[in-house]
């Protein structure tokens, strides 16, 4: 056993995950979300900040991503994905280093490895405004755990208390809605008061943390002032929150109004409540089966559930989103159920684990705030709470007076195997906006920026042709206009979005018209107009998407075409089966 413990250490965990993520992510090429983030991040490192589009809501995440992208000096999607693999593996190691202080080393290794593969099955393996804040939050939890295990009278306690507060500002600047992380110290206070603990130690920690917060606030304020973006950032943030609260939006879609967001979260948590009820009933039923037939048959029955879901994927028309969203909601329900059960049994006796569970649960709940996809982005809050809740549940299995519940918790290893089955399946086939059959992703790109990336032969052909055509007719730093969800090509060709936002059609059409009018008044015409003729949101492009997969940008595409081709006399310069390029006749 000791020899196994020596092998299953943090370095092996890092190595396994890093290799897995690199190998999985060299296949698949997305030009939408990946391109949006890469272009924003790269632009921050290469152009004056007042000349490009940036969002103050997650500026620090873009700066972090841009720093990584700029390390090699040229665009590379492979390098960006390597950065994501490093980030994911590091996050898992931070979680491991915390949990190994409280649980069996082998169990922690297995739980963290499986949980990590499960929560990253959405395949967005790069640095962006959900992955980078998750990394910072885990760093905050690591510091907090050091404090829990330190002498409150020591200098170490003072230093780490200061760091705990200092890191709060970078977390908020990496995604502004994470200001809700302040709910954690409030929840801690309530917990300690209910336990009737002496609050002197906690007050001392809060004091050191407040010093850290103000120090960090001063430093980052000075940085923002130096960059010349402090006033504009504050104005933009206040404007966005004001519009979102009032519902009178001009800078973003109506799905991001506060009322719409709250409604979507409430609907999802209502669904989660129902799912949790089903989970409880199902687990009690399996426990009953276990009592009557033995552990083997009950385990097979439990594993049959994810296998049935996978079978459903193969016979469904729209499998991945439906199944992954529902299994996500089931997992949230499971986490909340296990966390509640731990508090019911432990009654706060294990102070450290109780505080860590509170922090982890709040992080999971606030992680999706600001996203119009409901609770889907809760996945990025699973990093800590998922393995912790599973380990806590398994730990209390022998302390429960109710044999049926104890029997259920003793099946935690089987639940882990079920999570592993789902994780392996989705990691294998859920390639973001590309063909789910990895056997078809065997063609390498010839363009240097896409070295080491593989996709379908048709996608590789049309993309390589487009990149050559753009580079033949423009230079680095030129302002181009690329529309219909193709922001990746700004990054790959090192060009600038003429209308600011690289994914222009995310903005309301009124805002697009306003930006276009401003462009014309300044007589700043794009060197090239690049239009996608295919729906790049469809995973099988450049093949035509079926009528059931609608392109949401038809109206905006028609407006851009009418403005540039009819009004500004841009003419067709080049095209292939997926893209077309227009320019001014005299350019």
Instruction: Identify whether 508 is part of a domain.
Output: no
3-state secondary structure 390-434: HHHHHHHHHCCCCHHHHHHHCCHHHHHHHHHHHHHHHHHHCCCCC
More confident residue, 457 or 412: 457
User: What is residue 110's predicted lDDT score, i.e. its pLDDT?
Assistant: 95
- Under the banding of pLDDT at 50, 70 and 90, the label for residue 187 is very high
Q: Region 273-299: what's the mean pLDDT?
A: 80
Asked which of 105-109, 115-119, 205-209, 284-288 is least confident by mean pLDDT, the reply is 284-288
User: What is residue 145's predicted lDDT score, i.e. its pLDDT?
Assistant: 97
- Under the banding of pLDDT at 50, 70 and 90, the label for residue 286 is confident
pLDDT tens-digit readout, 296-320: 877 787 787 777 777 776 666 555 6
Instruction: Identify whether 351 is part of a domain.
Output: yes
| Whether the predicted pLDDT of 6 surpasses 70 | no
Give the whole-angstrom CA distance, residue 546 versus residue 54. 34
> What is the span of the domain harbouring residue 273?
2-29+76-429
Average pLDDT, the chain: 89
- Under the banding of pLDDT at 50, 70 and 90, the label for residue 82 is very high
Tell which residue, 225, 237, 257, 20, has the closest CA to residue 118. 20
| Whether the predicted pLDDT of 322 surpasses 70 | no
Name the DSSP class of 27: B
Whether the Cβ atoms of residue 515 and residue 563 lie closer than 8 Å to each other: no
User: What is residue 584's predicted lDDT score, i.e. its pLDDT?
Assistant: 87
| Burial classification of residue 566, based on how many CB atoms lie within 10 Å of its CB (0-12 exposed, 13-18 middle, 19 or more buried) | exposed
Supply 342's token pair: 């731990």
Give the whole-angstrom CA distance, residue 332 versus residue 328. 6
Q: Region 103-124: what's the mean pLDDT?
A: 92
Q: Region 511-535: what's the mean pLDDT?
A: 92
| Whether the predicted pLDDT of 550 surpasses 70 | no
User: What is residue 285's predicted lDDT score, i.e. its pLDDT?
Assistant: 83
User: What is residue 24's predicted lDDT score, i.e. its pLDDT?
Assistant: 95
Domains held by the chain: number? 1
CA-based torsion, 53, 58, 62, 63: positive or negative: positive
3-state secondary structure 37-103: HHHHHHHHHHCCHHHCCCCCCCHHHHHHHHHHHHCCCCCCHHHHHHHHHHHHHHHHHHHHHHHCCCC
DSSP letters of 138-198? HHHHHHHHHHHTS-TTSHHHHHHHHHHHHTHHHHHHHSGGGGGGGHHHHHHHHHHHHTT--
Give this prediction's pTM. 0.92
User: What is residue 545's predicted lDDT score, i.e. its pLDDT?
Assistant: 73
3-state secondary structure 439-457: HHCCEECCCHHHCCCEECH
Whether the Cβ atoms of residue 283 and residue 543 lie closer than 8 Å to each other: no
Instruction: Identify whether 252 is part of a domain.
Output: yes
Give the whole-angstrom CA distance, residue 77 versus residue 214. 38
Question: Cα(first)–Cα(last) distance of the chain, in Å?
Answer: 72
Instruction: Identify whether 183 is part of a domain.
Output: yes
| Whether the predicted pLDDT of 271 surpasses 90 | no
Give the whole-angstrom CA distance, residue 176 versus residue 168. 11
Give the whole-angstrom CA distance, residue 384 versus residue 357. 9
Instruction: Identify whether 14 is part of a domain.
Output: yes
| Burial classification of residue 445, based on how many CB atoms lie within 10 Å of its CB (0-12 exposed, 13-18 middle, 19 or more buried) | buried
| Whether the predicted pLDDT of 409 surpasses 60 | yes
Instruction: Identify whether 62 is part of a domain.
Output: no
Name the DSSP class of 256: G
Give the whole-angstrom CA distance, residue 234 versus residue 221. 11
| Whether the predicted pLDDT of 8 surpasses 80 | no
Instruction: Identify whether 36 is part of a domain.
Output: no
Q: Region 116-130: what's the mean pLDDT?
A: 90
Which one of 71-75, 120-124, 343-347, 415-419 scores highest in mean pLDDT? 71-75
Tell which residue, 74, 125, 128, has the closest CA to residue 451. 74
Query: Which residue is associated with the tokens 């009557």?
Result: 292
Instruction: Identify whether 407 is part of a domain.
Output: yes
| Whether the predicted pLDDT of 548 surpasses 60 | no
Determine the length of the chain. 587
| Whether the predicted pLDDT of 38 surpasses 60 | yes
């Amino acid at each position: 056993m000791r020899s196994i413990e020596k092998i299953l250490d943090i370095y092996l965990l890092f190595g396994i995950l890093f290799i897995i993520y690199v190998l999985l992510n060299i296949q698949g090429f997305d030009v939408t979300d990946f391109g949006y983030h890469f272009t924003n991040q790269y632009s921050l490192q290469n152009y004056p900040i007042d000349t490009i589009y940036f969002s103050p809501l997650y500026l620090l995440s873009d700066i972090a991503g841009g720093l990584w992208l700029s390390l090699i000096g040229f665009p590379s999607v492979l390098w960006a994905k390597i950065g994501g693999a490093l980030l994911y593996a590091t996050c898992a190691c931070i979680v491991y280093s915390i949990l190994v202080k409280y649980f069996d080393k082998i169990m922690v290794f297995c739980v963290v490895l499986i949980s990590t593969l499960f929560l990253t099955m959405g395949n967005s393996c790069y640095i962006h405004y959900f992955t980078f804040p998750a990394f910072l939050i885990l760093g905050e939890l690591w510091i907090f755990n050091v404090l829990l295990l330190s002498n409150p009278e020591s200098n170490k306690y003072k230093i780490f208390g200061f760091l705990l507060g200092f890191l709060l500002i970078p977390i908020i600047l990496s995604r502004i809605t994470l200001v809700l992380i302040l709910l954690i110290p409030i929840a801690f206070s309530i917990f300690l008061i209910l336990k009737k603990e002496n609050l002197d130690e906690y007050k001392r920690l809060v004091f050191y943390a407040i010093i850290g917060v103000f120090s960090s606030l001063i430093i980052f304020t000075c940085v923002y002032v130096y960059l010349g973006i402090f006033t504009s950032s504050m104005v933009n943030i206040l404007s966005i929150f004001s519009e979102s609260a009032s519902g009178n939006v001009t800078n973003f879609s109506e799905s991001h109004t506060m009322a719409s967001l709250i409604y979507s979260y409430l609907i999802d948590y209502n669904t989660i409540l129902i799912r949790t009820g089903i989970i409880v009933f199902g687990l009690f039923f399996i426990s009953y089966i276990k009592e009557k037939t033995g552990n083997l048959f009950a385990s097979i029955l439990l594993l049959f559930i994810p296998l049935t879901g996978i079978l459903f994927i193969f016979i469904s028309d729209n499998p991945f989103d439906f199944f992954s969203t529902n299994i996500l909601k089931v997992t949230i329900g499971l986490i909340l159920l296990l966390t509640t059960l731990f508090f019911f049994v432990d009654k706060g006796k294990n102070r450290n684990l109780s505080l860590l569970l509170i922090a982890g649960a709040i992080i999971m709940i606030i992680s999706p705030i600001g996203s119009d996809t409901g609770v889907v982005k809760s996945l990025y809050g699973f990093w800590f709470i998922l393995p912790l809740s599973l380990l806590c549940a398994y730990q209390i299995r022998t302390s429960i007076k109710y044999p049926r519940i104890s029997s259920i918790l003793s099946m935690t290893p089987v639940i882990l195997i079920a999570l592993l089955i789902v994780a392996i399946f989705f990691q294998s086939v859920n390639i973001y906006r590309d063909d789910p059959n990895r056997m078809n992703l065997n063609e390498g790109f010839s363009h240097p920026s896409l070295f080491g990336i593989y996709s379908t032969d048709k996608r590789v052909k049309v993309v390589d042709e487009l990149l050559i055509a753009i580079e033949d007719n423009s230079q680095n730093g030129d302002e181009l206009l690329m529309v219909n969800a193709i922001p990746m090509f700004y990054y790959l060709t090192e060009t600038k979005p003429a209308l600011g936002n690289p994914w222009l059609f995310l903005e309301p059409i009124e805002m697009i018209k306003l930006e276009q009018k401003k462009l014309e008044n300044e007589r700043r015409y794009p060197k090239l107009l690049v239009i996608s003729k295919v729906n790049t949101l469809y995973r099988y492009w450049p093949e035509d998407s079926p009528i059931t997969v609608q392109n949401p940008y038809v109206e905006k595409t028609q407006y851009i075409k009418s403005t540039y081709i009819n009004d500004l006399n841009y003419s067709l310069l080049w095209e292939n089966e997926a893209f077309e390029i227009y320019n001014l006749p005299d350019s």
